[in-house]
Amino acid sequence: MTRTLDVSRDLYTTAQRHLAGGVSSDARRMAGVPLYVDRAAGARLWDVDGNTYLDYVLGQGPALLGHCPPAVVEAITAQVSRGIVYSAQHAAEARVAERLCAMVPSAERVRFNTVGSEAVHAAWRLARGFTGQPKILKFEGHYHGWLDPVLYSVHPPLEAAGPADRPAAVPGTAGQPEAADLVVCPWNDIDALSRLMDEHAGQIAAVVTEPVLCNTGAIEPDPGYLQAVRELCDRHGSLLIFDEIITGFRLAPGGAQEYLGVSPDLSVFGKAMAGGMQVSALAGRAFVMDAISSGKVAHAGTFNSQPIGIAAAEATLRILDEQREEVYGTLYARGRELMRGLTEAAAKAGVPMLVDGPGPVFQTYFTEAPAVRNYRDFAATDRAMMGRLHAALLDQGVNMVPRGLWFLSTAHTEADIADTVEAFSAALNSL
């Protein structure tokens, strides 16, 4: 099947005259014509040329309940006529903070921001302000947003990445200053972490990790790994920060910290917490968050707890909390069914492919390796072929994240999963 993209192509050509590169985020660049969405509902997108897609991008994760879940649309609609922006306190922000603290194991206090990158920024500043230590330790392959202090060693070119057990801090873009007070460590390697923390003893304010790595494959921590990270942080007086921007509310009502049974000091949430609206949160232990409560560490933002986003978050979290069995039962069942279907389809086509991840989010890799455990393993998979599969899948009416990541929603039905597996087989055969 080949799509007609005449209207999309015309829009793209016109857009490039005034919109740099024709897109508003580099993550939306594509070989050929990028997706021009006309509307979205449930598990589907319709483009301006009338093509339909089963959507596994879901706005890069936020649409956990599918696109336009009725309860969220209703909450947004009801709020619009009562005010779009207050930049003042309102009752719903406290209710959402209370609900979030009840759902997330380590959350005792919350502050809201707008996007994930901002909440990460707040967490890193708070860690430094609270501990008085200058350095942050991050892991190679982990993404914490696009701001200057954090955009290091996400997917560095291997020739610049340094030794696997002691990676270099590689900037993600031109225009970024030299890394300052940043230590980069391989993930899923407790000996490397222990060594680096000893070398920087008394200087590391926080260790920050995606608790399940979702920006470089979908990689779960080795059994006991995050527990050992927690112990090292305690021994060194460093905070442990979980970046739950993807895993939060997706893997469990209490995020990856509930799913894995490891408690951070601080965590950040975004994406799935507001049904598609832009709300993020920094949450953590009261004794750490007190540095914000007291005004010692600054935290601000014109749009923080903007009432429409908070209304959407309130409606979303109520569903995730009160209907948890149904929501998470569906997400895991559909995810694992799709993982099984894709694995079988690849085996049938004779293509070496690994399908791995928790289920509500998972990754397809073209590799003969039995497992992918960190960035260097990921870099050894055939990423160019994954790019070709992405294009072939779009032609078959399936939209996955181009690097091979799949997000599930509660709106995906068993029939959608079966249709996706069929489309996937056709796409593989077309390569």
Ligand X SMILES: Cc1ncc(COP(=O)(O)O)c(C=O)c1O
Q: Is 309 in the site for ligand X (CB under 6 A)?
A: no
Q: Is 145 in the site for ligand X (CB under 6 A)?
A: yes
Count residues near ligand X (CB under 6 A): 14
Question: Which lies closer to ligand X via its Cβ, residue 5 or residue 246?
Answer: 246
Shortest distance, position 104 Cβ to ligand X, whole Å: 16
Residue nearest to ligand X (CB): 116
Q: Is 125 in the site for ligand X (CB under 6 A)?
A: no
Using CB under 6 A, which of the segments 49-57, 93-101, 124-132, 137-145 binds ligand X? 137-145
Q: Is 120 in the site for ligand X (CB under 6 A)?
A: yes
- Contacts to ligand X from residues 193-222, by CB under 6 A: 210, 215
Q: Is 270 in the site for ligand X (CB under 6 A)?
A: yes
Question: Which lies closer to ligand X via its Cβ, residue 374 or residue 396?
Answer: 374
Catalytic site residue 243?
yes
Q: Is 404 in the site for ligand X (CB under 6 A)?
A: no
Using CB under 6 A, which of the segments 91-99, 194-202, 240-248, 342-350 binds ligand X? 240-248
Q: Which of 138, 189, 225, 271 is catalytic?
A: 271
Using CB under 6 A, which of the segments 3-11, 64-72, 114-122, 131-139 binds ligand X? 114-122
Catalytic site residue 47?
no
Q: Which of 12, 53, 56, 143 is catalytic?
A: 143
List b or e across 257-275, with b for residues whose CB sees 16 or more CB atoms inside 10 angstroms.
Answer: bbbbebbbbbbbbbbbbbb
Catalytic site residue 165?
no
- Give the binding site for ligand X (CB under 6 A): 60, 115-117, 120, 143-145, 210, 215, 243, 245-246, 270
The residues carrying an active-site annotation are 143, 243, 271
